[in-house]
Every structure is written in structure tokens, then in C-alpha cells.
Chain A
Amino acid sequence: MSVLVYTESEQNKLKKAAFEVASYAKAVADQLGTTVTAVAINSGDTSELGNYGVDKVLKVSNSDLENFNAKGYADIIKQAAEAENAKVVILSSSADSKYLAPLLAVGLNAGYASNVVEAPSSISPFTVKRSAFTNKAFEIAEIKSDIKVIGVSNNSFGLVENSGSATAEDFSPSISELGVTVKSIDKATDKVTIADAEIVVSAGRGLKGPENWGMIEELADVLGAATACSKPVSDLGWRPHSEHVGQTGKPVASNLYIAIGISGAIQHLAGINASKVKVVINTDPEAPFFKAADYGVVGDAFEVVPQLIEKLKAFKAQ
């Protein structure tokens, strides 16, 4: 009756989010007095999972699933849950995990809580806290079904190290028809994605035009951060849609969010409120973002950002 966790990988390497969900699974397993089993698909070396509390890894190698397929992956995790008699299944909040989670929940006839931000406050009844109303509130939800599926919000639980070791076993579930085939993938592999990033550097209409994004990218580079933008910036075509964050764009749950030339409209803030520390750089001291931020600089981005880059370079060189 272990807790099952799906640990995601990318190009045969476990993602950082895999260690966070493993840490979360360990916390739940401790509450339930049981062990943690991970299921890893085409993952390469998984021994590091032991450091985050995983006792056993079910390793699946399947060349038909080199590309992510929600139905195929949900099928595998379902069979792993059944094999382990798992009552709780933990996933991350990546686009892929959110895609497969509802299919898995139906397969296991399980209640599913997404965007969960803390370890369960109680296991009987099974109660979790999740963000709702696009980060404007939290919902305390009880999962009523026998089996529970939990999607953990990225960066909400963090990594918790645990000295242990994980045994590995091959696992060969049967895969039914996939129904959806990947034709092409268009992805910048050398860039940090908003979903994975610990730091996000974001800029708005205050930057005046797409030609001014050089300094934003440089700042992001120095910090190892992902770049993002406000909605009008992507609507104007200054930046790709995939960078649009906010209520109608991507959610951001980074440790640090730096907003440059962004006014702080309610719809923008809704999407980034889950970020832990917020910095605003804006010429207008009345900009609403100052009410939502932890640190602020009232100043011209074209002067402040280049200086900040220099200061950060000096700091990193120390």
C-alpha cells in the first residue's frame, strides 16, 4: 500500500520537478506510515530519487513512448498504482502531468485535486490545500474517493532531502492504442521554461518595443532565469505567446519574479501571485504592482536594468 509518485524526465534525465514530487510523496507516506514507489518512464539513471525519500522505482522503457502521450502515460501509471496497491498517486503541475492526470483519475476512479500547495493537513478525511480563483484564494478540499490523485503546484513544496536509497525494478505494463501521434515538436531546448524556472524575468509595455528585449534576456541569462511578458506585449507580437503570463496566460510559481515596466493589472497579478518574492521596476510609483511586490525600484528600466545586470555579474563572480 505504498504512495505512488510519477517522476517526470526529459531527454532521459529526471526533471527537477521529479525531486519535488518525490519529496511530497515522502511526506504523505510518512503520514500514512508507508513507503514511496516512483514510476519513471524512459528515465535513464533514477538512483538520485533515493535522496528524496523514494524506496523503489518502477522503470519503464518503451520506445513507442519516446514522445509524451497522455493516454499511454496515464495507462502506465494506472497499472503501476494497481501493482503497488497505491491509494495516493502524486504528480507535478507540468503541462504533461496536468494533461494526463484527469485521464489517470478516471482510470482509477479517483478524486483529483490539482494545484496542491501543501502536504495534506489531515489524512482522514484526506484534506489538501489548493490554489483556486487563479491564485486569488485557496480552497481546502477533501478528496473523498478510495484512491486519491494529487497534482502538486510547482515550487510550492520544495525539495526535501532524505538519506536513503531506491531500488530499481523493470516494469512492463501493456499499452493500449494511443490515439494521438506527435508529428513535430518546436521547442527551444537551451532555454529555461517558465514552468521549471526558479527565477522569472518579465517585462511589459513599459519597454516600448521588441528591440529593447536584449537587456531582459541578458538579465535572465545572468540569473539563469526564464523570460516572460505581459499580455499586451504578446498581443502586439513583441514576444511569443508562450511567454504571456497572467490569468489568461501561463501561471508562474517561481521563487523570484522580476517585473519590469509592468503596471500590475489584476489579471497579470493573478497569474504570478504564487511566486514567492516579487520585485518591480517601474517609473511610476503609483503603479499597482508596488502594492503586490516585496521589493521595488522606482526608476527607468533603461537605466536600472543595465546597472542591475552589472551588479549581478559582479555578485556572481564573487
Chain B
Amino acid sequence: MKILVCISHVPDTTSKINFTDGDTKFDTNGVQFVINPNDEFGLTRAMWFKEKQGANVTVVNVGGAETEPTLRKALAIGADAAIRINTPATDGFSVAKQLAKVIEDGGYDLVIAGRESIDYNGGMVPGMIAGLTGANFVNNCIGLEIEGTSATATREIDGGKETVATSLPLIVGGQKGLVEESDLKIPNMRGIMMARKKPLTVLDPVDAEAGTRSVSFEKPAPKGDVKLVSPDNLDELVDLLHNEAKVI
């Protein structure tokens, strides 16, 4: 089984979000970049397919040279090879077109991406890859088993979960549940050393028209001070929620 894991290179969850160049660019100053959390769950699930079912795992990113440390980290966690498509990721549709080309050329059986990236929050790349390649697609995937070419997947739905049957080739939009937090691997010294020798191929992008263009960014308006209510006067809270906030 050939598995491709799509890796988005995103600011760490504790990052302060600021913008530069007249609020048109994300300010990377002092920001630590990591593997998108949803992708990290997918990568670990792929490692289990490798250990238990002999899968071969490639990781891929669409982005500039600055994303290579993130790909190296994925190699240190255990992926066999990495691909970087050398073009800035500016729009989900064009990223999906780049990835679809790699998937078709590489003949992958299973593609694991994240349900969404924590920076762009598009929630669109995995579904668009599925639309472009015609492969089956399960989103919000919290459990995945594969036997031969048959797959059983569990997906989170609003208010519960659902188990579905499908077949390879398959694209998955994954999240926590594919594996648990405690299953995530922290690269060890040996992994880091080995990662240096693993192939990281840089590919030229194909022509891919974007669907959207980022014009600018805004930060939410600063919030006023909290109104404190004494625990002995909860009638006041009920009154505020009803008459002032008008939410009950």
C-alpha cells in the first residue's frame, strides 16, 4: 500500500497572530512552525499502517523552502520520503491541484490529509483532491481500517459518529481519533539522524488556477472588560443575560 500524507506547515497553536505589509501578510516574526495538528494524527496513523501492514509512506507539502524543516520532522517521525512542490500555498484550490498531480503520478492508494489547517481553516484541500482525482473521500475521519482494497472508516458527524464502508483509492480528511494524543510520536535522535539521509524531492509546480485571493487580514475588535457578578447575586447575571446581552 502506498500512502501519501499531506502536511500543512502552520504556526504553533500558542502563536500570537499578527500581520505586516498593510495587513496583507502573516507576520512570521518569532513564530514557531509545526506540522498541522490534524496532519500529525494522520501521519501517526500512517506509521501504524507501515508497521503493521508494510505500507510505504510519503509526505508532501506545497510551499517554499521554509517548510522543509517541517517535512524533515515528518521524516524523523518515520515517513520514508518527502516531496515539496515548490510554490507558495496561497489558495486551497490551487494547492489541491498541485497535490492531485502528485497523487496521480505516484499512484497512491491512500491519501491522508487533515480535516482543516489551523491557519487557513479552509477545510477544503482533501475534498478538492477527491473531487479532482475521483477517489473516494471520507471527511472528519476518526477511525480507519484497511484490508486489501476495502476500507472501513468512522467519521464524526454533528452530534455523534457514523461508520462507513468504502474502497481504495481513498482520500481521508483526518483528525484526532485516527490516533490519540498519547500515540503521537516525538522524533528521537535516531529518527532525526535517519531523516537526514531520506529523500526530499523538490518538484516544480504545474499550472494551477486559484479560486480565491487573499486581499487582507483583520484582527477581531478588542473586547471590553469583563463585567463581574458576585456569586451571591446571580439574579443579576440572569438579568444581564436577558436584558443586556439578550441571549436568554
Contacts and interface: CB of A to CB of B under 8 A. Distances in A.
Q: Do they bind each other?
A: yes
B137 A296 contact: no
Interface in A131-146: 131-145
A145 to B, nearest CB: 5
Contacts of B13: 247-248, 266-267, 270
A244 to B, nearest CB: 8
B237 A308 contact: yes
A273 interface: yes
B40 to A, nearest CB: 10
A105 interface: yes
A183 B122 contact: no
B231 A143 contact: no
B35 to A, nearest CB: 13
A256 B127 contact: no
Interface string A103-115: 1011100111111
Nearest to B247: A256
A163 interface: no
Contacts of B119: 132-133
B159 A141 contact: no
Given A111-B93, A291-B226, A296-B227, A183 B164 contact: yes
A27 to B, nearest CB: 20
Given A102-B126, A295-B237, A296-B226, A141 B214 contact: yes
B238 interface: yes
Contact of B241 (A184, A248, A256, A270): A256
B215 interface: yes
B124 A132 contact: no
B247 A141 contact: no
Interface residues of A, number: 94
B152 interface: yes
B159 A187 contact: yes
Interface in B177-202: 177, 180-182
A294 B137 CA distance: 41
Interface in A266-318: 266-267, 270, 273, 276-277, 279-280, 290-300, 303-304, 307-308, 311-312, 315
Given A102-B128, A297-B237, A187 B160 contact: yes
Contacts of A291: 223, 226
Interface stretch (B1-9, B45-53, B70-78, B205-213): B205-213
B111 to A, nearest CB: 14
A186 interface: yes
Main secondary structure of the interface of B (DSSP, over half): mixed
Interface in A249-264: 249, 255-256
Contact of B217 (A106, A132, A143): A132
A280 B226 contact: yes
B161 A242 contact: yes
A311 B17 CA distance: 40
Given A181-B165, A308-B234, A114 B218 contact: no
Nearest to B136: A179
Nearest to B216: A140
Contacts of A279: 237, 241
A60 to B, nearest CB: 20
Interface string B96-128: 100000000000000000000011111111111
A82 interface: no
Given A102-B124, A303-B231, A294 B245 contact: yes
A138 B217 contact: yes
A235 interface: yes
A241 B137 contact: no
Contacts of B165: 180-181, 183
Contacts of B229: 295-297
B44 to A, nearest CB: 14
Contacts of A114: 121-124
Nearest to B131: A106
A196 interface: yes
B226 A293 contact: yes
B37 interface: yes
B234 A311 contact: yes
Contacts of B123: 98, 101-102, 114-115, 151
A223 B238 CA distance: 11
Contacts of B219: 136-138
A94 interface: yes
B92 interface: yes
7 closest residue pairs by CB, A with B: A111-B211, A102-B127, A106-B131, A187-B160, A299-B231, A193-B159, A256-B247
Given A102-B92, A294-B223, 11 more contacts: A98-B123, A102-B131, A137-B17, A179-B137, A182-B163, A280-B226, A295-B240, A297-B234, A304-B234, A307-B231, A308-B238
Interface of B: 11, 13-14, 17, 19, 37-38, 91-93, 96, 118-128, 130-132, 136-140, 142, 152, 156-167, 173, 176-177, 180-182, 210-220, 223-224, 226-231, 234-235, 237-238, 240-242, 245, 247-248
12 contacts: A102-B131, A112-B128, A141-B212, A141-B213, A187-B159, A198-B247, A256-B248, A267-B14, A277-B241, A294-B224, A295-B240, A304-B234
